Structure 1
Amino acid sequence: MASKCNLTVNGRTVRASVGETLVDAAMGGWIAVPHDCCSGQCETCRVRVVSGAVDDQGTGEGDTVLACQATLEGDAVITYDEVPEATKRSGQVAAMRALSHDVVEVVVELRSPLDYLPGQYVSVTFAGFPPRDYSPTLRWDGTRAAHELVFHIRMLPDGIVSSELGRSIMPGHRVDVRGPFGHAFFRRGDGLMVLVAGGTGWAPIWAVAREAVRARPRRDIIVIAGARDLDGLYMRHSLDWLRDHGAREVIATAQQGGGGLVRSGRPTNYLPLLGPSDMVYVAGAPGLVDAVKLKALSAGAFCFADPFLPSQQRMSFMNRMARLLRTPGRTPVPQDAGLFAPQMAGMDDAGRLPAARPASRPAARRPLQETLFAARRLMRRE
């Protein structure tokens, strides 16, 4: 039998087993540690280890680890930033317009607003198509209605979803949105903020930049946006706005071309010297993200990035719950839904929940499927 230990998460302590991942241990005590892919890729579950015995399983960055991979070696204390609960919303495509030859702005009008932090991402499902992850952003002038989500989507010739924008996906098309997720959301602070974007990585960076200017107008901010060519710099109007509203430095780069306010090369060529009090946000191609993270972490700076995953790499939350509920000795599903993981909201693709089971029936005698149904019922948040 595995040795037992205590895990304290944001001040709440649960009993866990040595060798469990932090996510599994927290969920075993009905504590919601935000997570999404559960494969060590998306960064949503990055937490800070305050003290204790934790094996980071190769995911350590400073005093942080990925909770879906890191395992307990003994008692431990961890913390994470509180974020809005993941939930499900429905709506329709309200508008579409080209931002460049291969980038389109898609505005989704929701039936009710979705709460998220600037820099987070959501899972978007256009009816009849597989889900894709996109970061909500703002129009070039910084506007967005409360019930709208604005996305920047690169159109790929062989893209299952993006190639249909403006064809079978038109204004009026039904859309389901699930989220928010992600670790790279805006955080307040006094140190230098460096924002780096490549291509449509500008979407989350623009959202973070606007919030940073609004929250602390005099904060030092350096913005670096890059593209393959001049046409790819579709965000130039937004860069102009940042220049006019106090950003210390705004740099646009192009690998092909340049001149005027556009410098030749890659965003990494223009990173400033970084220090331990600086915050770096990066979004874009994996090569750019990895290069910026390496430089930031080498300097001791904070670095936030949310790489997106192909859908086939994702491990569903229900599969993870099934594995947990097969573990002997787990506490039965509690009657207080408020302590459970927010990612369960709306797990039925049709938005339906099964009928509630009689409360008097002992949880220990429920078959696994029935227990999962009960978990779905308890986690209904909308």
Structure 2
Amino acid sequence: MLGELFGRGKKSFNVTVEPFGKTLSVGKRETILQAALRSGLAYPSECRAGACASCKTQLVDGSIKPLTDFAYVLDVDDIKSGTFLACQSLAKSDLTIRVDSLRDGLKPIKPNVFGGEISKLNYLTHDIQEVIVSLDGEMDYYAGQYANLTVPGITESRSYSFASAPEVKSNTVVKFYIRMVPGGEVSAWLASGECLGKAIQVEGPFGIFGMRESLSPIVCIAGGSGMAPILSILEQGVLNKVDRPLVYLYGARTQADLYSESLIFDISKCWNSSFRFIPVLSEEPDESDWDGARGLVTDHIKQIDDFDLQGAQAYLCGPPPMIDAAIPILNNCGVRGRDIFYDKFIDRSHSPEMLS
């Protein structure tokens, strides 16, 4: 009786999610985010590894069990107010929680599972491939979102952002930019070339990253395959005739690591306001013919000429160290925390382990 009173005898808990007004059944070994996504709820999420804070949630009533230390990504005020990460929390009792909806009133798209076939591969750099997947149905998604890909012989799925804006009429072909991770199983499978024509599973869409409605200037900062979601939202911005000044800082090691420059040039010509692309190279040889920006991409945030960051919106995609370094610099330049949106690209070797 006492076990039931304190929740120890229950196999699952009821979690009411506001403002969706939906009640979930959450298993004792299941995170709140896992249960929400399993139920088809368009719950805000990005990395699912406790690093990006996209799934931060307000605890209204009940108690949870944290699986990681929230202080790594949440500030003190958030934690004091009962904010937690849904991807790193188990329910200890029946709960009532509150979470921000998708974004800007967009209708949530319920994730679906599609059969797919890898129809084209193209090396963009020595370690980034463009992967084209043909689907067995039409997949709706918003620019900036991602999908989970499951490939033959590898049990766990991998998450990749869409690299282009959704088609207006039909989305039966989707594009991803995938970095070849040393020792990565999916990377090795793609690099072998044997994947062409092979069947895979594509589940999605997921995530809340994407351009918010505003009249403010835009600064985009990306590195590596973080180019993918930025291109997706920029293409959507062209389609939506967005009329906002924009600067795009992109960090790479050398000239050989730059890609999609012609596509960015085309976007800049169609953009309804000023558009500047500033590639920054961190390891380009001193004796090369490169006359562009050098150093870390974050070092150039304060050096953007004729662009007032005060009150701007920032969109960041790439490795966690880059994003962690950029945020305080943006804050110091007058970009408010609520106007900074980011998608941290984390491979599985950097995902926090669940506590027992």
Do Structure 1 and Structure 2 share a fold, with TM-score over 0.5?
yes
Name 1:119's counterpart in structure 2.
144
Q: How does 1:203-352 map to 2 (within 5 A)?
A: 203-246=228-271, 247-257=274-284, 262-272=292-302, 274-275=309-310, 277-297=311-331, 299-301=335-337, 302-311=339-348, 313=351
Q: Deviations over 1:143-202 (max 9, x none)?
A: 996211111122244332212325253321111111222232232222122111101110
The one-letter code sitting in structure 2 at the alignment partner of 1:118 is: A
C-alpha separation in 1, matches of 2:234 and 2:292: 19
Letter in 1 for 2:275: R
Q: Deviations over 1:96-134 (max 9, x none)?
A: 112122222110000012222111111112222352221
Give the Å deviation of 1:87: 1.7
Give me the whole-angstrom Cα distance separating, in 1, the residues matched to 2:54 and 2:108. Answer: 10
Aligned to 1:338: none
TM norm structure 1: 0.66
Matched residue SS, 2:322: helix
Q: Could you report, residue by residue, the CA deviation over 1:319-368 in whole angstroms, capped at 9, with x for unpaired residues?
A: xxxxxxxxxxxxxxxxxxxxxxxxxxxxxxxxxxxxxxxxxxxxxxxxxx
What residue in structure 2 maps to residue 138 of structure 1? 164
Aligned in 2, Cα 1:52/1:31: closer, same or farther, shift over 3 Å? farther
Q: Residue in 2 aligned with 1:160?
A: 185
Mapped contact 1:37–1:314 kept (Cα < 8 A)? no
Q: Equivalents in 2 of 1:283, 1:145: separation in Å?
A: 27
Q: After superposing the two structures, state which structure 1 stretch, 284-293 or 144-153, moved more.
A: 144-153
Q: Which of the residues 86, 90, 101 maps onto 1:80? A: 101
Contact 1:255-1:265 within 8 A present in 2 as well: yes
Instruction: State whether residues 192 and 219 of structure 1, in contact with CA within 8 Å, keep that contact through their aligned partners in structure 2.
Output: yes
State how far apart, in whole Å, the 1-side matches of 2:168 and 2:279 are. 22
SS at structure 2 position matched to 1:256: coil
SS in 1 for 2:256: helix
Instruction: In structure 1, give the amino acid aligned to 2:138.
Output: P
Tell me which residue corresponds to 1:356: none
**1:41 alignment partner, one of 19, 42, 51:** 51
Determine helix, strand or coil for the equivalent of 1:271.
Answer: helix
Aligned residues: 308
Instruction: Say if 2:46 and 2:209, in contact at 8 Å, map to a contact too.
Output: no
Matched position secondary structure for 1:253: strand
Q: Assess, with a 3 A threshold, how the Cα gap between structure 1 residues 100 and 32 changes in structure 2: closer, same or farther.
A: closer
Q: 1:165 to 1:33 in 2, by over 3 A?
A: closer
Offset, 1:211: 1.2
Whole-angstrom CA distance in 2 between matches of 1:271 and 1:94: 39
With over 3 angstroms needed to count, the CA separation of the structure-2 counterparts of 1:159 and 1:51, relative to structure 1, is closer
SS at match of 2:279: strand
Native 8 Å contact 2:118 2:196 kept in 1: yes
Give the Cα separation in 2 of the matches to 1:259 and 1:127.
Answer: 44
Equivalent position of 1:199 in the other structure: 224
Q: In the TM superposition, what are the counterparts of 1:68-107 in structure 2 within 5 Å? A: 68-69=87-88, 77-81=98-102, 83-107=108-132
Contact in 1 for aligned 2:56/2:86 (Cα 8 Å)? yes
Please state whether the residue corresponding to 1:112 is helix, strand or coil.
coil
Unmatched segments (≥5 aa) in structure 2: 8-14, 303-307
2: CA distance, partners of 1:72 / 1:237: 52
Unaligned runs of 5+ in 1: 317-382
| 1:359 equivalent in structure 2 | none
Contact in 1 for aligned 2:140/2:171 (Cα 8 Å):
no
Give the AA of the match of 1:45: C
Q: Alpha carbons of 1:31 and 1:217: their partners in 2 closer, same or farther (altered >3 Å)?
A: closer
Change (3 A) 1:236 1:10: same
Change (3 A) 1:122 1:2: same
Please list the CA deviations of residues 53-109 of structure 1 after superposition, one character each: whole Å capped at 9, or x if unmatched.
999943446877633457999977543225321221111011111212222211000
On the 8 A contact 1:185/1:208 being kept in 2, the answer is: yes
The runs of at least 4 aligned residues of structure 1 exceeding 6 Å deviation read 13-16, 50-56, 61-64, 70-76, 142-145
Cα RMSD over matched residues?
A: 4.2
How far apart, CA to CA, are the structure 2 residues paired with 1:188 and 1:169?
A: 43
